[in-house]
Amino acid sequence: MEQEIINVSEIFGEYVFNDSVMQQRLPKKVYQKLQETLAEGGELDLETADVIAHEMKEWAIEKGATHFTHWFQPLTGVTAEKHDSFITAPKSSGKVLMSFSGKELIKGEPDASSFPSGGLRATFEARGYTAWDPTSNAFVRKDAAGATLIIPTAFCSYTGEALDKKTPLLRSMEAINKESLRLLKLFGNESSKKVTPSVGIEQEYFLIDREKYLQRKDLVYTGRTLMGAMPPKGQEMDDHYFGAIRERVAAFMKDVNVELWKLGVSAKTQHNEVAPAQHELAPIYEEANVAVDHNQITMEMLKKVAYRHGLQCLLHEKPFNGVNGSGKHDNWSLVTDDGCNLLEPGKTPHENTQFLLVLACILAAVDDHADLLRESASDVGNEYRLGGNEAPPCVISVYLGEQLEEIIEQLLETGEATHSLKGHHLNTGVANLPNFRKDATDRNRTSPFAFTGNKFEFRMVGSQDSVSSPNVVLNTIVAEAFSNACDALEGSKDFEADAQKYICELISKHQRIIFNGNGYSKEWEEEAAKRGLPNITNMVDAIESLTTDKAIKLFEKFGVYTKAELLSREEVEYEAYAKEMNVEAKTMIDIVSKQIIPAVINYTSVLANSINAVKAACGADVSVQTELLCESSDLLADVQAGLSALKMAVEEGKKMEPGKAQAVFYRDSVKKALDDLRIPIDKLEMIVDKELWPMPSYGDLIFEV
């Protein structure tokens, strides 16, 4: 097949109102004013905003846009938008003008009463505002709705409380910026003006055939399969991981890349993942808030392009029991405006006091707030994945690798570190292959929080979740640790010695958080318990971490969340858990009543008829039919009993007030009933004639894409 040539540098950012477009189109003064505001924070005056809005509109119209929308990220975890066209009221001539004012750019006012607010906003105070986030570029999106100018915004209530996932992230970025600059000053750095958390997000997903997807009401309504027997082959052959990408999938990936590049998302890596039909996409890292926005765009694009290819992209953390689920690795580092990464150990980390202080602070932060980190990676789907030998356990620990581990040991033993392990040359034993230097440190795939060269990789996050919360937590807890270090060291007379001492103290106090072994093992769970590390095994138990005194103090100190905002998030999460479990339960009831039970009755009738027919015709042996009939009828009775139990649990759950007690009930009773009901169904799937089974099997779904 003749391939079209894709000129990446030409299409990259084609639909983004980015810096170079602004430089080109905005009057110099306006451009400068915007840059100043971006650098220093603060508000943009309306006059400047008017000029920017006008140019933005002209540019968008050239790209075909008829509408604009403020694009925001409410607490649902997905994005929201409300489109307005650029047209103004028709003049007497009957013609319309296309207009877009600074006011419309800066502020929007969607009726916010239907977004979760956790009590922050009574329904009678439905006002919510969206506010332009100039740090994340506006862009034009083309789809069936035509072309729309999309303006990234924050979303808050009439009284200024954050109702979204962007506002706290921006606040946390300010906090870590401020405290990082303080820390750099300790080391005499006066030149860096800004420190930004850099984030690179690896996105895992499944891709299945859309026709088959539509035949699975569980996938349609809940994003995961609620039943399904294992196919003869799962992922045990390890032949999918990094395997050759199938044509149909490759064509999909190509289109996803092109669409993302046009929107300025630097899609970089793609490969097949461990489970059949599972894949991964990773962009190049960028500023945290832009990375979070781009991840939302990526998730939307994966779904949209899949649809075009007759495929369905599943972003759920655990679409199929028994094969690996999907996560989202959050790679995080701190980079100065003059290009220095605070997490870069350099060639001789033992001499790099600044790096060691940063590292010690991060260890302290993660140890002090392991519960918050765990909470930040909680969503309902992720509960089916964490701790399942495919994803990090629920215990937070830090993997440092051999080189840093060895330096930590030196510090703990003697109070100073005198040498660093070096990477050696790797000899492949084949003359024609180049020998290359290998890293001083190997990787550990089982750690929830791993140092990987010059960044930390938080691997707990769920595949469909927003990565905002994990980064809010990371930024804030590290800001606190930096702030404590600065408080302790700012007045020091003998900085080198005091810093060394401080580093050793932190490390010795928090060394329990370091673990370099196999995080999936049972022994680690026991060892972690001995060390007193929290093991929060489920989302419902994790939620209260948001509102401990410790958490409130932390977030209020750095202006990231008020107490009211934390309480609201706690409420929203309990409710989200109960609601999602309720949908799963109702979907199960629907499928079992209308599809599974009728199918099994059908099958047993066929068997019964066969028995009668054989008996009437010749009296031959009908033991096989009889055995199958007995077995399937018994299982059918189990299904009926399980269905009644689930119905009862749902009825009871529905009567409860939203809140913790209800979430606990859904976890302990509804989820349990759901899991129990699945067991006889999966057994029946292995017995009943495939022609009579009412939906595609796991094998059909994941092996026949």
Please report, as ranges, the residues that interact with ligand ADP according to CB under 6 A.
198-200, 202, 282-285, 331-333, 341, 452, 454-455, 457
Helix axes 623-655, 597-617, angle to 10 degrees: 160
Closest by CA to 277, choosing from 201, 222, 210, is 210
Q: How far apart are CA 327 and CA 203, in angstroms?
A: 7
Closer residue to ligand ADP (CB): 356 or 650: 356
- CB under 5 A: which stretch of 17-25, 201-209, 261-269, 372-380 binds Mg ion? 201-209
Total residues binding Mg ion (CB under 5 A)? 2
CB of 362 to ligand ADP, least distance (A): 13
Q: Which does 283 bind (CB under 5 to 8 A by kind): Mg ion, ligand ADP, none?
A: ligand ADP
CB of 335 to ligand ADP, least distance (A): 7
Record the tokens describing residue 366, joined without a space: 């993660």
CB of 516 to ligand ADP, least distance (A): 17
Closer residue to ligand ADP (CB): 320 or 332: 332
Closer residue to Mg ion (CB): 202 or 286: 202
Q: Which does 284 bind (CB under 5 to 8 A by kind): ligand ADP, Mg ion, none?
A: ligand ADP
CB of 457 to Mg ion, least distance (A): 5
Q: Spell out the long-range contacts of 499-505 with Cβ–Cβ below 8 A and sequence spacing 24 or more.
A: 499/186, 499/353, 499/357, 500/353, 500/415, 500/416, 501/415, 502/357, 502/360, 503/353, 503/356, 503/357, 503/360, 503/411, 504/411, 504/412, 504/415
Distances, alpha carbon 508 to alpha carbons 245, 342, 415, 456, in Å? 47, 22, 10, 20
User: What single letter denotes the amino acid at residue 65?
Assistant: A
| ∠ Cα 142 145 148 (to 5°) | 50
What's 124-141 look like in SS3? HHCEEEEEECCCCCEEEE
3-class SS of residue 493? coil
Q: Which does 198 bind (CB under 5 to 8 A by kind): ligand ADP, Mg ion, none?
A: ligand ADP
455 binds Mg ion (CB under 5 A): no
CB of 63 to ligand ADP, least distance (A): 28
141 binds Mg ion (CB under 5 A): no
Closer residue to Mg ion (CB): 329 or 667: 329
Q: Which does 204 bind (CB under 5 to 8 A by kind): Mg ion, ligand ADP, none?
A: none
Closest by CA to 136, choosing from 155, 161, 154, 148, is 154
510 binds Mg ion (CB under 5 A): no
Record the tokens describing residue 352, joined without a space: 């790099």
For residue 250, count other CB atoms closer than 10 A to its CB: 12
Contact indicator for 112, 163 with CB cutoff of 8 Å: yes
Closer residue to ligand ADP (CB): 209 or 457: 457
Checking phi first, is residue 280 left (phi over 0); if not, alpha (psi -120 to 50) or beta? beta
Q: Which does 78 bind (CB under 5 to 8 A by kind): ligand ADP, Mg ion, none?
A: none
CB of 267 to ligand ADP, least distance (A): 10
CB of 266 to ligand ADP, least distance (A): 8
| ∠ Cα 495 498 504 (to 5°) | 135
Closer residue to Mg ion (CB): 104 or 457: 457
- Residue whose tokens read 């409380």: 161
- Residue whose tokens read 């002090």: 368
CB of 282 to ligand ADP, least distance (A): 4
Closer residue to Mg ion (CB): 152 or 470: 470
Q: Which does 282 bind (CB under 5 to 8 A by kind): ligand ADP, Mg ion, none?
A: ligand ADP
Closer residue to ligand ADP (CB): 8 or 284: 284
Contact positions with Mg ion (CB under 5 A) in 202-231: 202
Residue showing the smallest CB distance to ligand ADP in the complex: 200
DSSP state of 593: I
Closer residue to ligand ADP (CB): 177 or 452: 452
**Helix (H) and strand (E) counts in the chain:** 24, 18
Q: Which does 406 bind (CB under 5 to 8 A by kind): Mg ion, ligand ADP, none?
A: none
Closer residue to Mg ion (CB): 453 or 517: 453
Closer residue to ligand ADP (CB): 465 or 685: 465
33 binds Mg ion (CB under 5 A): no
Q: How far apart are CA 314 and CA 55, in angstroms?
A: 38
CB of 133 to ligand ADP, least distance (A): 21
Q: Which does 200 bind (CB under 5 to 8 A by kind): Mg ion, ligand ADP, none?
A: ligand ADP
Q: How far apart are CA 489 and CA 495, in angstroms?
A: 7
Q: How far apart are CA 158 and CA 273, in angstroms?
A: 45
Q: How far apart are CA 195 and CA 678, in angstroms?
A: 50
Closer residue to Mg ion (CB): 453 or 699: 453
Contact indicator for 80, 74 with CB cutoff of 8 Å: yes
Buried b (16+ CB within 10 A) or exposed e, 15-35: bbbeeebbeebbeeebbebbe
Record the tokens describing residue 407, joined without a space: 């330096």
Task: Choose, by CB under 5 A, the member of 54, 212, 294, 329 that binds Mg ion.
Answer: 329
Residue showing the smallest CB distance to Mg ion in the complex: 329
- CB under 5 A: which stretch of 198-206, 468-476, 509-517, 544-552 binds Mg ion? 198-206
182 binds Mg ion (CB under 5 A): no
Q: In the stretch 270-289, what mask flags binding to Mg ion with x, by CB under 5 A?
A: --------------------
Closer residue to ligand ADP (CB): 221 or 241: 241
Q: Which does 475 bind (CB under 5 to 8 A by kind): ligand ADP, Mg ion, none?
A: none
Residues 6+ apart with CB under 8 A from 501: 415
Q: In the stretch 87-126, what mask flags binding to Mg ion with x, by CB under 5 A?
A: ----------------------------------------
Proportion of the chain in helix, strand, coil states, percent, rounded to 5 = 50, 15, 35
- CB under 5 A: which stretch of 96-104, 321-329, 371-379, 639-647 binds Mg ion? 321-329
CB of 272 to ligand ADP, least distance (A): 13
Q: Give contact residues for Mg ion (rule: CB under 5 A).
A: 202, 329
